[in-house]
Amino acid sequence: MTSSNRPSIIAIDGPAASGKSTIGLRLANALGYLFFDTGLMYRAVTWLALDHDMNLRDEAAITALAERAQIDVVPASKADGRACDVFVAGKDITWETRLPDVEANVSVVSAYRGVRAALSRQQRRIGKRGQIVMVGRDIGTVVLPDADLKIYLDASAEERAKRRYDEIVARGGSANYHDILAKVIERDRIDSTRDVAPLKTASDAIVIHTDKLSVDESFEQVLALCK
Ligand code: CDP
């Protein structure tokens, strides 16, 4: 692929487990761009708060934590299934960000205005450098509204829960499909109804429904949009 007229800033948004990370990473690798998963920053703040035994309902304290936390999301240094490395004050917490406790609480933490302001600021600074695929919930709407290409990846909750289930089992973990489905639905509900930067499709985003698409097919569709 030649680089002429190729979108430089690519935003991918969508609900939980819609394939943003898998497709986003493949796309970034194909284009030679940086892949940046913003969800990992919200997960890192949530993990930190839990690790400090903080009250997650204390918005002021959690906001102060997000403002002073030193979170780094960088290209993966290990081939153990991770899409990025996540560091907090130099400590590798990549797999901790996937803990059930983090997953159960991240939507509460990410709804706080001050938390979003602190993290969005960093995301915008990184995104504006270009040659980037940034994935999340509000990238096309709030973080990088001037992105060259906006994609909204969607799938039914059942399909997304099945994918998350398969992912956990493939990593050797144990999981309950109905439990995952309930949690995915609840996280989407909180993410899409919050006051600040709710999950929604940007008016100029291209929506791709992936229920009936394989990962390869979804990737090909997304890649075609970059040509
Ligand atoms: O991988 P998965 O789609 O399950 O979640 P994620 O992208 O890692 O995001 C975890 C959570 O962080 C979401 O459920 C949102 O509550 C929050 N998030 C957000 O509010 N804004 C973003 N740009 C990215 C994630």
183 lines ligand 1 (CB under 6 A): no
Do β-strands 84-88 and 91-92 pair in parallel, antiparallel, or remain unpaired?
Answer: antiparallel
Distances (CA, A) of 42 to 27, 103, 128, 136, 173: 22, 10, 20, 10, 23
User: What pTM was estimated for this model as a whole?
Assistant: 0.96
The residue whose CA is least distant from atom 15 of ligand 1 is 107
Where do we find the tokens 């990962």? 215
The pLDDT assigned to 4 comes to: 65
31 lines ligand 1 (CB under 6 A): no
Render each residue's pLDDT in the chain as its tens digit; 227 residues. Answer: 445 689 999 999 999 999 999 999 999 999 999 999 999 999 999 999 999 999 999 999 999 999 999 999 999 999 988 999 999 999 999 999 999 999 999 999 999 999 999 999 999 999 999 999 999 999 999 999 999 999 999 999 999 999 999 989 998 989 999 999 999 999 999 999 999 999 999 999 999 999 999 999 999 999 999 98
Distances (CA, A) of 16 to 29, 77, 102, 144: 22, 25, 14, 20
The pLDDT assigned to 41 comes to: 98
The closest-lying atom of ligand 1 relative to the alpha carbon of residue 17 is 3
